Chain A
Amino acid sequence: MKDFEPQQRTTTTFEEVLEANKDKIYRISRVYAVAPLEPQDLFQEVVYQIWKSFSTFKGTSGVDTWVYKIALNVCQRSKLRLDKGQDKSLRLDSLQFVPAETPPDQNEIDKYNALQDCIASLNDADQSLLVLLLEGLPYKQIATVTGLTENHVAVKLKRIRKLLFECITPKLA
């Protein structure tokens, strides 16, 4: 996983951060977007918040961790419908979503849909932990993003893993 270390802060630009993190932001947006909000809207909101907060980034944690915090907080706010100001007319035209040249086959789509269903069946707190686990974050980084202790994360993820496998195994059998 590519992460910008704190000491790299002075040379890291917003554009670099966006380029390095856009796929993960999109993946998280896809899980949290609830109609009428689309993943693209949520993605743009996360990008906007990252840009807005970029000057305050102190580099005490890696840029990667910092981006996850913002993405998760924005997505969770949108789920609670706290963002009354989210206006689709404020879409950023400079961000375009183009269908992939080689789209995933039906088997891949089915697998993803099964995974998404299983994530949706979890409670909100568990969903956020699972998303970070699937992103490949170590427990320590998950603890930093969520504000939980590392031990607490480990205990919770043990149970979440079990729930996930119980849910997805019959779907993919």
Chain B
Amino acid sequence: MTEQELRNIWTNASQVEKIQVDLSRLVIDLKNKLDHIEKAIRNRDLREIIAAFIGVPIFAYFAYEIPFPITRIASLLTVVWSIYVIYRFRKLQKSRKTEDLTLPFKSQLENQKTNMMAEHRFLDTVLYWYAGPPFLLNTLFILGLGKAESLSDPSWIIAHLPLNMNEKIPLIIGLACFYTFIVWLNKKAVKKTINPLIAEIDRIQQQLETED
């Protein structure tokens, strides 16, 4: 068996199927695919921003309407945090290296690793910027709520808020469980998805670098 014979076997492999290209429709098909993918990306970005923006008017309204000072401060800080979350999401999107599949294989692997490392940092630190701050602020918000009797003209919203400890404690425990779950989900994604991918890219890079 010679190398040329192996090349012949290899080259003949494409004779199994005949690829028919309808050139008149191909570019239309490709444009449709591009539109479909871009639309999906636009919708995803929009969903993230809308979700983060929902907190801004709600907590701004609370800060305006609820008279208790600590709750008011917690509401204002929650508005600031919501804006910060939007900023973090946008920053991650911008920091992603543009996919350039025309780069050499080795450079492409480096790009993929850079993106995966950014994703790793983003997800692995959710406790400090995504779960921890709102939990503290929500706790402050709840604990800052006073007695309705102390208000001369309590608004309708006061009636719907937890004003005594019997209501506050279970709510804080519920929030703690919720945010712990969010952190756990993100840590799980890092462990199950991101870390194996980084390890796989490392492995291929190592294979490429090794002088045999």
Q: Do A and B come from one complex?
A: yes
Which among B10, B24, B107 has the greatest number of chain A C-beta atoms within 10 A?
B10
> How many A-B pairs fall under 8 Å by CB?
166
A111 contacts B by Cβ under 8 Å:
yes
Residues in A neighbouring B23, C-beta threshold 8 A: 15, 94
Which B1-35 residues have C-beta < 8 A from chain A?
Answer: 1, 3, 6-7, 9-30, 33-34
Residues in A neighbouring B149, C-beta threshold 8 A: none
Residues in B neighbouring A92, C-beta threshold 8 A: 26, 29-30, 33
Measured CB to CB, the closest approach of chain A to B47, in angstroms, equals: 16
Residues in A neighbouring B106, C-beta threshold 8 A: 146-148
Interface of A is mostly: helix
Measured CB to CB, the closest approach of chain A to B32, in angstroms, equals: 8
Measured CB to CB, the closest approach of chain A to B4, in angstroms, equals: 10
- CB nearest neighbor in B for A19: B21
B186 contacts A by Cβ under 8 Å:
no
Given contacts A77-B112, A92-B29, A115-B9, A97 and B197 within 8 Å (CB-CB): no
Given contacts A94-B29, A98-B20, A69 and B102 within 8 Å (CB-CB): yes
Alpha-carbon gap, A161 to B6, bound state (A): 11
Measured CB to CB, the closest approach of chain B to A86, in angstroms, equals: 10
A155 contacts B by Cβ under 8 Å:
yes
Contact with B along A19-58 (1 / 0, CB 8 A): 1001110110010000000000001000111011100110
**Interface CB pairs A-B, < 8 A, 12:** A15-B21, A22-B21, A48-B30, A53-B102, A92-B29, A96-B21, A97-B17, A100-B17, A111-B9, A124-B204, A145-B105, A147-B103
B residues apposed to A, CB below 8 Å: 1, 3, 6-7, 9-30, 33-34, 36-37, 40, 100-109, 112, 197, 200-201, 203-204, 207-208, 211-212
